[in-house]
Protein backbone atom coordinates (compact mmCIF):
# COMPACT_ATOMS: atom_id res chain seq x y z
CA UNK A 1 0.00 0.00 0.00
CA UNK A 2 1.10 3.59 -0.60
CA UNK A 3 0.42 4.32 3.08
CA UNK A 4 3.06 1.75 4.09
CA UNK A 5 5.79 3.25 1.94
CA UNK A 6 8.76 4.60 3.90
CA UNK A 7 9.65 8.05 2.59
CA UNK A 8 9.11 9.14 -1.04
CA UNK A 9 6.03 11.12 -0.03
CA UNK A 10 6.46 13.47 -2.98
CA UNK A 11 6.01 10.52 -5.38
CA UNK A 12 3.25 8.87 -3.35
CA UNK A 13 1.25 12.10 -3.28
CA UNK A 14 1.53 12.62 -7.05
CA UNK A 15 0.50 9.02 -7.85
CA UNK A 16 -2.35 9.10 -5.30
CA UNK A 17 -3.80 12.29 -6.79
CA UNK A 18 -3.49 10.89 -10.32
CA UNK A 19 -5.35 7.70 -9.35
CA UNK A 20 -8.08 9.45 -7.39
CA UNK A 21 -8.78 11.95 -10.18
CA UNK A 22 -8.20 9.38 -12.97
CA UNK A 23 -5.60 11.57 -14.64
CA UNK A 24 -3.25 8.81 -15.67
CA UNK A 25 -0.24 9.15 -17.92
CA UNK A 26 0.76 6.35 -20.24
CA UNK A 27 4.43 6.19 -19.12
CA UNK A 28 6.21 6.79 -15.81
CA UNK A 29 9.94 6.87 -15.10
CA UNK A 30 11.17 6.20 -11.55
CA UNK A 31 14.80 7.13 -10.91
CA UNK A 32 16.97 6.83 -7.81
CA UNK A 33 19.70 4.81 -6.17
CA UNK A 34 19.31 1.12 -5.37
CA UNK A 35 16.83 -0.03 -2.77
CA UNK A 36 14.76 3.16 -2.37
CA UNK A 37 11.42 1.72 -3.59
CA UNK A 38 11.26 2.06 -7.38
CA UNK A 39 10.00 -1.46 -8.08
CA UNK A 40 7.82 -1.48 -4.96
CA UNK A 41 6.06 1.71 -6.06
CA UNK A 42 5.56 0.26 -9.54
CA UNK A 43 3.88 -2.88 -8.17
CA UNK A 44 1.61 -0.89 -5.84
CA UNK A 45 0.68 1.31 -8.81
CA UNK A 46 -0.11 -1.81 -10.87
CA UNK A 47 -2.37 -3.08 -8.07
CA UNK A 48 -4.13 0.28 -7.90
CA UNK A 49 -4.81 0.14 -11.64
CA UNK A 50 -6.09 -3.45 -11.68
CA UNK A 51 -7.77 -3.92 -8.30
CA UNK A 52 -11.20 -5.52 -8.71
CA UNK A 53 -12.64 -2.81 -6.45
CA UNK A 54 -11.85 -0.22 -9.12
CA UNK A 55 -9.02 2.21 -9.91
CA UNK A 56 -8.05 3.87 -6.62
CA UNK A 57 -5.06 4.74 -4.48
CA UNK A 58 -5.93 2.15 -1.83
CA UNK A 59 -6.13 -1.29 -3.48
CA UNK A 60 -7.92 -3.88 -1.36
CA UNK A 61 -5.02 -6.34 -1.31
CA UNK A 62 -7.33 -9.37 -1.04
CA UNK A 63 -8.89 -9.69 -4.51
CA UNK A 64 -7.46 -12.13 -7.04
CA UNK A 65 -5.67 -9.37 -9.00
CA UNK A 66 -3.99 -7.90 -5.90
CA UNK A 67 -2.89 -11.31 -4.61
CA UNK A 68 -1.56 -12.42 -7.98
CA UNK A 69 0.46 -9.21 -8.32
CA UNK A 70 1.88 -9.74 -4.82
CA UNK A 71 2.79 -13.32 -5.74
CA UNK A 72 4.32 -12.27 -9.08
CA UNK A 73 1.95 -14.29 -11.30
CA UNK A 74 -0.42 -11.66 -12.64
CA UNK A 75 -0.69 -12.17 -16.41
CA UNK A 76 -1.03 -8.46 -17.25
CA UNK A 77 1.98 -7.29 -15.22
CA UNK A 78 5.06 -7.93 -17.33
CA UNK A 79 8.27 -7.36 -15.35
CA UNK A 80 11.33 -7.10 -17.56
CA UNK A 81 15.00 -6.84 -16.59
CA UNK A 82 16.47 -4.65 -19.31
CA UNK A 83 19.99 -5.81 -18.44
CA UNK A 84 19.13 -9.31 -19.72
CA UNK A 85 17.11 -8.13 -22.76
CA UNK A 86 19.40 -5.60 -24.40
CA UNK A 87 19.01 -6.89 -27.96
CA UNK A 88 16.53 -5.15 -30.25
CA UNK A 89 14.94 -8.44 -31.31
CA UNK A 90 14.08 -9.24 -27.71
CA UNK A 91 12.58 -5.77 -27.22
CA UNK A 92 10.46 -6.05 -30.36
CA UNK A 93 9.25 -9.49 -29.27
CA UNK A 94 8.25 -7.98 -25.93
CA UNK A 95 6.39 -5.08 -27.51
CA UNK A 96 4.59 -7.18 -30.14
CA UNK A 97 1.84 -7.94 -27.60
CA UNK A 98 1.22 -4.28 -26.73
CA UNK A 99 -1.78 -3.86 -29.09
CA UNK A 100 -3.64 -6.81 -27.55
CA UNK A 101 -6.14 -6.26 -24.74
CA UNK A 102 -5.32 -7.36 -21.17
CA UNK A 103 -6.03 -10.98 -20.27
CA UNK A 104 -7.24 -10.53 -16.68
CA UNK A 105 -6.91 -6.95 -15.54
CA UNK A 106 -8.06 -3.50 -16.52
CA UNK A 107 -4.63 -2.40 -17.79
CA UNK A 108 -1.62 -4.18 -19.16
CA UNK A 109 1.40 -2.86 -17.21
CA UNK A 110 4.98 -3.12 -18.50
CA UNK A 111 7.53 -2.74 -15.69
CA UNK A 112 11.00 -2.37 -17.25
CA UNK A 113 13.74 -2.31 -14.63
CA UNK A 114 17.20 -0.82 -15.30
CA UNK A 115 15.90 0.58 -18.57
CA UNK A 116 19.17 2.45 -19.15
CA UNK A 117 20.72 -0.91 -20.15
CA UNK A 118 18.73 -0.98 -23.39
CA UNK A 119 20.71 -0.58 -26.60
CA UNK A 120 20.07 2.34 -28.94
CA UNK A 121 18.02 0.10 -31.24
CA UNK A 122 15.95 -1.14 -28.31
CA UNK A 123 15.26 2.43 -27.22
CA UNK A 124 14.13 3.28 -30.76
CA UNK A 125 11.73 0.35 -30.71
CA UNK A 126 10.40 1.41 -27.31
CA UNK A 127 10.10 5.02 -28.46
CA UNK A 128 7.76 4.09 -31.31
CA UNK A 129 5.40 2.44 -28.84
CA UNK A 130 5.60 5.35 -26.39
CA UNK A 131 4.65 7.79 -29.16
CA UNK A 132 1.35 6.01 -29.92
CA UNK A 133 0.45 3.91 -26.88
CA UNK A 134 -2.87 1.98 -26.74
CA UNK A 135 -5.21 3.22 -23.99
CA UNK A 136 -5.08 -0.10 -22.11
CA UNK A 137 -1.25 -0.08 -21.68
CA UNK A 138 0.85 1.63 -19.00
CA UNK A 139 4.64 1.71 -19.00
CA UNK A 140 6.64 2.01 -15.78
CA UNK A 141 10.37 2.43 -16.34
CA UNK A 142 12.89 2.26 -13.50
CA UNK A 143 16.57 3.17 -13.58
CA UNK A 144 19.49 4.07 -11.35
CA UNK A 145 21.17 6.02 -14.17
CA UNK A 146 18.71 8.33 -15.96
CA UNK A 147 21.55 10.12 -17.78
CA UNK A 148 21.84 7.09 -20.09
CA UNK A 149 18.18 7.23 -21.10
CA UNK A 150 17.70 9.16 -24.39
CA UNK A 151 16.03 12.54 -24.12
CA UNK A 152 13.39 11.44 -26.61
CA UNK A 153 12.27 8.74 -24.16
CA UNK A 154 12.52 11.01 -21.12
CA UNK A 155 10.29 13.61 -22.77
CA UNK A 156 7.47 11.06 -23.15
CA UNK A 157 7.49 9.97 -19.51
CA UNK A 158 6.45 11.50 -16.22
CA UNK A 159 9.72 11.40 -14.30
CA UNK A 160 9.89 10.97 -10.51
CA UNK A 161 13.21 11.09 -8.69
CA UNK A 162 13.14 8.90 -5.58
CA UNK A 163 15.29 10.24 -2.77
CA UNK A 164 17.79 8.40 -0.62
CA UNK A 165 16.20 7.49 2.68
CA UNK A 166 17.48 9.18 5.81
CA UNK A 167 19.01 7.20 8.67
CA UNK A 168 16.04 8.20 10.83
CA UNK A 169 13.55 6.75 8.32
CA UNK A 170 15.47 3.50 7.94
CA UNK A 171 16.00 3.19 11.70
CA UNK A 172 12.30 3.77 12.41
CA UNK A 173 11.27 1.07 9.92
CA UNK A 174 13.78 -1.42 11.34
CA UNK A 175 12.52 -0.64 14.85
CA UNK A 176 8.93 -1.28 13.69
CA UNK A 177 9.89 -4.63 12.14
CA UNK A 178 11.78 -5.80 15.23
CA UNK A 179 8.92 -4.80 17.50
CA UNK A 180 6.41 -6.65 15.31
CA UNK A 181 8.63 -9.73 15.32
CA UNK A 182 9.18 -9.39 19.09
CA UNK A 183 12.97 -9.43 18.73
CA UNK A 184 15.05 -7.69 21.41
CA UNK A 185 17.35 -4.89 20.20
CA UNK A 186 19.07 -1.72 21.38
CA UNK A 187 19.32 1.79 19.95
CA UNK A 188 23.01 1.42 19.06
CA UNK A 189 22.29 -1.57 16.81
CA UNK A 190 19.58 0.34 14.93
CA UNK A 191 21.89 3.32 14.46
CA UNK A 192 24.66 1.09 13.09
CA UNK A 193 22.32 -0.77 10.73
CA UNK A 194 20.75 2.47 9.46
CA UNK A 195 24.16 3.98 8.82
CA UNK A 196 25.34 0.79 7.07
CA UNK A 197 22.26 0.86 4.81
CA UNK A 198 23.58 4.09 3.25
CA UNK A 199 20.18 5.42 2.20
CA UNK A 200 18.83 2.10 0.86
CA UNK A 201 15.91 0.41 2.64
CA UNK A 202 16.62 -2.86 0.85
CA UNK A 203 20.20 -2.86 2.10
CA UNK A 204 18.94 -2.02 5.58
CA UNK A 205 16.56 -5.01 5.54
CA UNK A 206 19.33 -7.29 4.29
CA UNK A 207 21.62 -6.13 7.08
CA UNK A 208 18.81 -6.65 9.59
CA UNK A 209 18.27 -10.25 8.44
CA UNK A 210 22.00 -10.84 8.69
CA UNK A 211 22.14 -9.27 12.16
CA UNK A 212 19.28 -11.42 13.47
CA UNK A 213 21.12 -14.56 12.33
CA UNK A 214 24.53 -13.34 13.50
CA UNK A 215 23.31 -12.26 16.94
CA UNK A 216 21.28 -15.40 17.56
CA UNK A 217 17.87 -13.77 17.65
CA UNK A 218 18.77 -10.72 19.77
CA UNK A 219 20.18 -7.68 17.97
CA UNK A 220 22.93 -6.04 20.05
CA UNK A 221 25.07 -3.04 19.12
CA UNK A 222 28.44 -4.60 19.97
CA UNK A 223 27.72 -7.72 17.89
CA UNK A 224 26.30 -5.70 14.99
CA UNK A 225 29.49 -3.61 14.99
CA UNK A 226 31.55 -6.80 14.69
CA UNK A 227 29.27 -8.13 11.93
CA UNK A 228 29.46 -4.95 9.85
CA UNK A 229 33.19 -4.68 10.47
CA UNK A 230 33.08 -1.28 12.16
CA UNK A 231 35.92 -0.29 14.44
CA UNK A 232 34.94 -0.30 18.12
CA UNK A 233 33.72 3.07 19.32
CA UNK A 234 36.12 2.94 22.27
CA UNK A 235 39.11 2.84 19.92
CA UNK A 236 37.91 5.94 18.07
CA UNK A 237 37.26 7.77 21.35
CA UNK A 238 40.82 6.98 22.45
CA UNK A 239 42.18 8.16 19.10
CA UNK A 240 40.50 11.55 19.44
CA UNK A 241 41.52 11.81 23.11
CA UNK A 242 45.14 11.28 22.02
CA UNK A 243 44.67 13.98 19.38
CA UNK A 244 43.31 16.35 22.02
CA UNK A 245 46.38 15.71 24.19
CA UNK A 246 48.75 16.02 21.23
CA UNK A 247 50.08 12.58 22.19
CA UNK A 248 51.75 11.10 19.12
CA UNK A 249 52.93 7.97 20.95
CA UNK A 250 49.38 7.18 22.05
CA UNK A 251 48.13 7.63 18.48
CA UNK A 252 50.64 5.10 17.20
CA UNK A 253 49.69 2.71 20.02
CA UNK A 254 46.03 2.92 19.00
CA UNK A 255 46.94 2.24 15.36
CA UNK A 256 49.03 -0.76 16.46
CA UNK A 257 46.09 -2.15 18.44
CA UNK A 258 43.87 -1.83 15.38
CA UNK A 259 46.46 -3.61 13.24
CA UNK A 260 46.64 -6.48 15.75
CA UNK A 261 42.87 -6.97 15.47
CA UNK A 262 43.07 -6.90 11.64
CA UNK A 263 41.01 -3.71 11.47
CA UNK A 264 39.98 -2.12 8.18
CA UNK A 265 41.76 1.24 8.29
CA UNK A 266 39.49 2.72 5.61
CA UNK A 267 36.55 1.88 7.86
CA UNK A 268 38.44 3.38 10.81
CA UNK A 269 38.69 6.69 8.95
CA UNK A 270 34.93 6.52 8.27
CA UNK A 271 34.25 6.04 11.98
CA UNK A 272 36.66 8.85 12.86
CA UNK A 273 34.85 11.18 10.43
CA UNK A 274 31.47 10.23 11.90
CA UNK A 275 32.63 11.01 15.44
CA UNK A 276 34.26 14.31 14.45
CA UNK A 277 30.97 15.26 12.76
CA UNK A 278 29.09 14.63 16.01
CA UNK A 279 31.66 16.65 17.99
CA UNK A 280 31.35 19.59 15.59
CA UNK A 281 27.55 19.53 15.93
CA UNK A 282 27.83 19.50 19.72
CA UNK A 283 30.17 22.49 19.63
CA UNK A 284 28.19 24.63 17.20
CA UNK A 285 24.51 23.67 17.70
CA UNK A 286 23.04 24.51 21.06
CA UNK A 287 20.99 21.67 22.58
CA UNK A 288 22.09 19.10 19.99
CA UNK A 289 21.53 15.47 21.03
CA UNK A 290 24.20 13.07 19.66
CA UNK A 291 23.36 9.98 17.63
CA UNK A 292 22.39 6.87 19.65
CA UNK A 293 25.58 5.09 18.56
CA UNK A 294 27.73 7.56 20.57
CA UNK A 295 28.24 8.06 24.29
CA UNK A 296 26.95 11.62 24.96
CA UNK A 297 29.09 12.14 28.09
CA UNK A 298 32.31 11.04 26.47
CA UNK A 299 31.50 12.93 23.29
CA UNK A 300 30.73 16.06 25.32
CA UNK A 301 34.11 15.86 27.06
CA UNK A 302 35.84 15.75 23.68
CA UNK A 303 33.75 18.67 22.41
CA UNK A 304 34.92 20.73 25.40
CA UNK A 305 38.56 19.68 25.04
CA UNK A 306 38.97 20.42 21.33
CA UNK A 307 38.84 23.80 19.65
CA UNK A 308 36.18 24.00 16.90
CA UNK A 309 38.69 25.00 14.24
CA UNK A 310 40.84 21.98 15.14
CA UNK A 311 37.84 19.69 14.73
CA UNK A 312 37.20 21.15 11.28
CA UNK A 313 40.84 20.70 10.31
CA UNK A 314 40.89 17.10 11.59
CA UNK A 315 37.76 16.35 9.57
CA UNK A 316 39.26 17.84 6.41
CA UNK A 317 42.52 15.90 6.85
CA UNK A 318 40.65 12.61 7.47
CA UNK A 319 38.44 13.24 4.44
CA UNK A 320 41.48 13.84 2.22
CA UNK A 321 43.22 10.84 3.80
CA UNK A 322 40.50 8.53 2.50
CA UNK A 323 41.50 9.28 -1.07
CA UNK A 324 45.19 8.82 -0.31
CA UNK A 325 44.92 5.60 1.71
CA UNK A 326 45.09 3.37 -1.37
CA UNK A 327 48.24 5.19 -2.53
CA UNK A 328 50.14 4.51 0.72
CA UNK A 329 52.68 1.65 0.88
CA UNK A 330 50.23 -0.14 3.21
CA UNK A 331 46.93 0.88 4.87
CA UNK A 332 48.40 1.08 8.36
CA UNK A 333 51.20 3.48 7.44
CA UNK A 334 48.73 5.61 5.47
CA UNK A 335 46.39 5.73 8.47
CA UNK A 336 49.24 6.66 10.81
CA UNK A 337 50.34 9.47 8.51
CA UNK A 338 46.80 10.89 8.47
CA UNK A 339 46.82 10.98 12.29
CA UNK A 340 50.30 12.52 12.47
CA UNK A 341 49.28 15.13 9.90
CA UNK A 342 46.52 16.18 12.29
CA UNK A 343 49.20 16.88 14.92
CA UNK A 344 51.59 18.60 12.55
CA UNK A 345 49.22 21.28 11.30
CA UNK A 346 47.15 23.97 12.96
CA UNK A 347 44.65 26.48 11.50
CA UNK A 348 46.61 29.61 10.52
CA UNK A 349 43.66 31.97 10.31
CA UNK A 350 39.97 32.18 11.08
CA UNK A 351 37.83 33.27 8.13
CA UNK A 352 34.37 34.59 8.86
CA UNK A 353 31.61 36.56 7.20
CA UNK A 354 30.85 40.05 8.40
CA UNK A 355 27.53 41.85 8.45
CA UNK A 356 28.18 43.45 5.10
CA UNK A 357 28.74 40.09 3.44
CA UNK A 358 32.48 40.57 3.02
CA UNK A 359 35.12 38.15 4.23
CA UNK A 360 37.42 39.06 7.11
CA UNK A 361 40.64 37.20 7.81
CA UNK A 362 42.40 37.46 11.08
CA UNK A 363 45.72 35.84 12.00
CA UNK A 364 45.33 33.33 14.83
CA UNK A 365 47.88 32.36 17.39
CA UNK A 366 47.73 28.55 17.78
CA UNK A 367 45.61 28.13 20.91
CA UNK A 368 46.16 25.90 23.86
CA UNK A 369 43.59 23.15 24.27
CA UNK A 370 41.26 23.01 27.24
CA UNK A 371 41.72 19.63 28.91
CA UNK A 372 39.13 20.28 31.62
CA UNK A 373 36.73 17.76 30.06
CA UNK A 374 39.40 15.04 29.91
CA UNK A 375 40.55 15.03 33.54
CA UNK A 376 39.59 11.39 33.98
CA UNK A 377 41.47 10.24 30.90
CA UNK A 378 45.05 8.84 30.88
CA UNK A 379 47.50 11.65 30.53
CA UNK A 380 49.88 9.96 28.11
CA UNK A 381 53.11 11.45 26.90
CA UNK A 382 53.55 14.83 25.26
CA UNK A 383 55.84 13.50 22.58
CA UNK A 384 54.14 15.42 19.84
CA UNK A 385 53.56 18.63 21.76
CA UNK A 386 56.95 20.07 20.97
CA UNK A 387 56.81 18.99 17.35
CA UNK A 388 53.54 20.80 16.76
CA UNK A 389 55.21 24.05 17.82
CA UNK A 390 57.34 23.89 14.72
CA UNK A 391 55.62 25.70 11.88
CA UNK A 392 56.38 25.98 8.19
CA UNK A 393 56.11 29.77 8.51
CA UNK A 394 57.10 31.52 11.73
CA UNK A 395 54.09 33.39 13.06
CA UNK A 396 54.40 36.68 14.92
CA UNK A 397 53.27 36.56 18.53
CA UNK A 398 50.80 39.14 19.85
CA UNK A 399 52.24 41.92 21.96
CA UNK A 400 50.20 40.86 24.97
CA UNK A 401 52.07 37.52 25.09
CA UNK A 402 55.08 39.29 26.64
CA UNK A 403 53.28 39.52 29.97
CA UNK A 404 51.16 36.35 29.49
CA UNK A 405 52.43 34.96 32.78
CA UNK A 406 51.34 38.07 34.67
CA UNK A 407 47.86 37.65 36.07
CA UNK A 408 45.66 40.68 35.48
CA UNK A 409 42.19 40.60 37.05
CA UNK A 410 41.29 44.20 36.22
CA UNK A 411 38.79 44.05 33.32
CA UNK A 412 39.28 47.75 32.55
CA UNK A 413 42.70 46.76 31.15
CA UNK A 414 40.87 44.55 28.70
CA UNK A 415 43.83 43.48 26.53
CA UNK A 416 45.81 42.15 29.50
CA UNK A 417 42.62 40.68 30.98
CA UNK A 418 41.99 38.66 27.78
CA UNK A 419 45.57 37.40 27.85
CA UNK A 420 45.23 36.36 31.49
CA UNK A 421 42.13 34.28 30.71
CA UNK A 422 44.21 32.14 28.28
CA UNK A 423 41.29 31.53 25.96
CA UNK A 424 41.38 29.54 22.74
CA UNK A 425 39.49 29.20 19.49
CA UNK A 426 36.35 31.21 18.78
CA UNK A 427 36.07 32.29 22.41
CA UNK A 428 39.42 34.11 22.18
CA UNK A 429 38.37 35.69 18.89
CA UNK A 430 35.14 36.91 20.50
CA UNK A 431 36.99 38.44 23.47
CA UNK A 432 39.70 39.97 21.27
CA UNK A 433 37.14 41.79 19.14
CA UNK A 434 35.48 43.46 22.14
CA UNK A 435 36.33 46.64 24.02
CA UNK A 436 35.73 47.31 27.69
CA UNK A 437 32.40 49.00 28.34
CA UNK A 438 32.09 49.05 32.10
CA UNK A 439 32.34 47.03 35.33
CA UNK A 440 30.20 47.79 38.39
CA UNK A 441 31.37 44.87 40.48
CA UNK A 442 28.53 42.63 39.29
CA UNK A 443 28.11 43.03 35.53
CA UNK A 444 30.88 43.27 32.96
CA UNK A 445 29.79 45.28 29.88
CA UNK A 446 31.59 44.74 26.58
CA UNK A 447 31.12 46.24 23.13
CA UNK A 448 31.64 43.80 20.25
CA UNK A 449 32.82 45.07 16.87
CA UNK A 450 29.56 44.86 14.86
CA UNK A 451 31.41 43.44 11.85
CA UNK A 452 32.40 40.44 14.01
CA UNK A 453 28.93 39.56 15.33
CA UNK A 454 29.21 36.12 13.74
CA UNK A 455 31.63 35.17 16.53
CA UNK A 456 28.65 34.91 18.89
CA UNK A 457 28.03 31.28 17.93
CA UNK A 458 27.83 28.00 19.77
CA UNK A 459 29.13 28.21 23.30
CA UNK A 460 31.56 31.09 22.77
CA UNK A 461 29.69 33.52 25.06
CA UNK A 462 29.15 30.84 27.69
CA UNK A 463 32.85 29.93 27.76
CA UNK A 464 33.85 33.59 27.88
CA UNK A 465 31.57 34.15 30.87
CA UNK A 466 33.01 31.10 32.64
CA UNK A 467 36.56 32.38 32.08
CA UNK A 468 35.63 35.87 33.32
CA UNK A 469 34.11 34.41 36.50
CA UNK A 470 37.13 32.19 37.05
CA UNK A 471 39.59 35.09 36.73
CA UNK A 472 37.51 37.48 38.85
CA UNK A 473 36.72 34.81 41.42
CA UNK A 474 33.01 35.69 41.62
CA UNK A 475 29.68 35.06 39.92
CA UNK A 476 29.74 38.00 37.54
CA UNK A 477 27.26 38.67 34.75
CA UNK A 478 28.25 39.43 31.16
CA UNK A 479 26.50 41.87 28.81
CA UNK A 480 27.68 42.20 25.20
CA UNK A 481 26.38 44.88 22.86
CA UNK A 482 27.24 45.28 19.18
CA UNK A 483 28.48 48.59 17.79
CA UNK A 484 31.33 50.18 15.88
CA UNK A 485 34.08 50.38 18.54
CA UNK A 486 35.38 53.82 19.39
CA UNK A 487 38.53 52.37 20.97
CA UNK A 488 41.03 49.90 19.60
CA UNK A 489 40.14 46.25 20.28
CA UNK A 490 42.90 43.76 21.21
CA UNK A 491 42.46 42.20 17.77
CA UNK A 492 42.90 45.58 16.06
CA UNK A 493 45.96 46.28 18.21
CA UNK A 494 47.44 42.90 17.32
CA UNK A 495 46.93 43.47 13.60
CA UNK A 496 48.42 46.96 13.83
CA UNK A 497 51.48 45.72 15.73
CA UNK A 498 51.92 42.81 13.33
CA UNK A 499 51.80 45.25 10.42
CA UNK A 500 54.39 47.46 12.10
CA UNK A 501 56.71 44.52 12.77
CA UNK A 502 56.24 43.31 9.23
CA UNK A 503 57.12 46.76 7.88
CA UNK A 504 60.20 46.82 10.10
CA UNK A 505 61.22 43.40 8.83
CA UNK A 506 60.77 44.47 5.21
CA UNK A 507 62.84 47.62 5.84
CA UNK A 508 65.56 45.60 7.56
CA UNK A 509 65.67 43.14 4.67
CA UNK A 510 65.76 45.91 2.09
CA UNK A 511 68.68 47.61 3.90
CA UNK A 512 70.60 44.40 4.51
CA UNK A 513 74.05 44.63 2.81
CA UNK A 514 73.86 41.05 1.51
CA UNK A 515 70.46 41.67 -0.06
CA UNK A 516 71.68 44.88 -1.67
CA UNK A 517 74.74 43.13 -3.05
CA UNK A 518 72.59 40.35 -4.57
CA UNK A 519 70.28 42.95 -6.11
CA UNK A 520 73.21 44.79 -7.65
CA UNK A 521 75.17 41.75 -8.81
CA UNK A 522 72.41 39.39 -9.95
CA UNK A 523 69.56 41.85 -10.65
CA UNK A 524 67.68 40.09 -7.86
CA UNK A 525 64.40 41.40 -6.50
CA UNK A 526 63.18 41.17 -2.93
CA UNK A 527 59.75 39.53 -2.65
CA UNK A 528 58.23 41.52 0.20
CA UNK A 529 55.26 39.16 0.48
CA UNK A 530 57.63 36.42 1.63
CA UNK A 531 59.09 38.47 4.49
CA UNK A 532 57.97 37.37 7.96
CA UNK A 533 59.01 39.01 11.24
CA UNK A 534 60.87 36.68 13.62
CA UNK A 535 60.30 37.21 17.35
What tens digit of pLDDT does each residue of 235-280 get?
A: 888 888 888 888 888 888 888 888 887 778 888 888 889 889 989 9
pLDDT tens per residue, range 473-484? 888 899 999 998
Q: How far is Cα 330 from Cα 359, in angstroms, rounded to an integer? A: 41
Is the pTM for the entire model greater than 0.75?
A: no
Confidence class of residue 352 from pLDDT cuts 50, 70 and 90? very low
211-220, 224-233, 513-522, range with the lowest pLDDT: 224-233
CB 360 within 8 A of CB 354: yes
Q: Which of 475, 138, 463, 529 is nearest to 304 (CA)?
A: 463
Measured in residues, the chain has a length of 535
Q: What is the mean pLDDT of residues 320-334?
A: 88
Percentage of the chain modeled with pLDDT above 90: 6
Distance CA 175, CA 194 (A): 10
CA 184 – CA 186 distance, rounded (Å): 7
Q: What percent of the chain has pLDDT over 70?
A: 86
- Second CATH level (architecture) for the domain 167-228: Orthogonal Bundle (1.10)
Q: Where is 360: in which H helix or E strand?
A: strand 359-363
The strand pair at 137-143 and 27-31 is best described as: parallel
| Domain assignments of the chain as residue spans, ordered by start | 2-161, 167-228, 233-363, 399-489, 493-530
- Over range 108-131, report the average pLDDT: 86
What was the pLDDT predicted at 350? 45
What interhelical angle do 490-511 and 425-432 show, nearest 10? 90
* pLDDT of 446: 92
Of 59-63, 290-294, 328-332, the one with minimum mean pLDDT is: 290-294
CA separation for the pair 232, 240 (Å, rounded): 13
Q: Domain 399-489 maps to which CATH number in 3.30.300.150, 1.10.3720.10, 3.30.1330.10, 3.30.43.10? A: 3.30.300.150
Of the pLDDT bands very low, low, confident and very high (cuts 50, 70, 90), residue 458 is low
**If you average pLDDT over residues 485-504, what whole number do you get?**
88
d(CA 530, CA 393): 10
C-alpha–C-alpha distance, residues 314 and 306, integer Å = 10
Is the Cβ–Cβ distance between 393 and 532 less than 8 Å?
A: yes
Cβ atoms within 10 Å, residue 508: 12
CATH assignment, 233-363: 1.20.272.10
**Does residue 355 register a pLDDT over 60?**
no
For the segment(s) 2-161, the CATH number from 3.40.50.300, 3.30.300.10, 3.40.50.2000, 3.30.70.600 is 3.40.50.300
Beta carbons within 10 angstroms of residue 421's beta carbon: 20
Per-residue model confidence (pLDDT) at position 510: 85
Amino acid sequence: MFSQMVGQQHVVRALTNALEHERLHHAYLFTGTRGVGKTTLARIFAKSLNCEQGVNATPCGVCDACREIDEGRFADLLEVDAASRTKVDQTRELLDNVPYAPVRGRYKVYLIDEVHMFSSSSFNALLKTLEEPPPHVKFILATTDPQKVPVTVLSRCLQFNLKRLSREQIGAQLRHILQQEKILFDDESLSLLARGADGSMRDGLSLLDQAISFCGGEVKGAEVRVMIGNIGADQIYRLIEALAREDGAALLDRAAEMAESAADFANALQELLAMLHQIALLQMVQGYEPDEAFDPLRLGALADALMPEDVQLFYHIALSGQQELDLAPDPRSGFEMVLLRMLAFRPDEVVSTGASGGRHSQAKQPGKRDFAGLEALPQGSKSAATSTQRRIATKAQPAESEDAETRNDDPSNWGAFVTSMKLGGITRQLASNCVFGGWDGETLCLTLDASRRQLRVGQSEKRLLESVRKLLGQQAALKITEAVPTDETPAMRQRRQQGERRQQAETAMANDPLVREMEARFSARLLTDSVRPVD
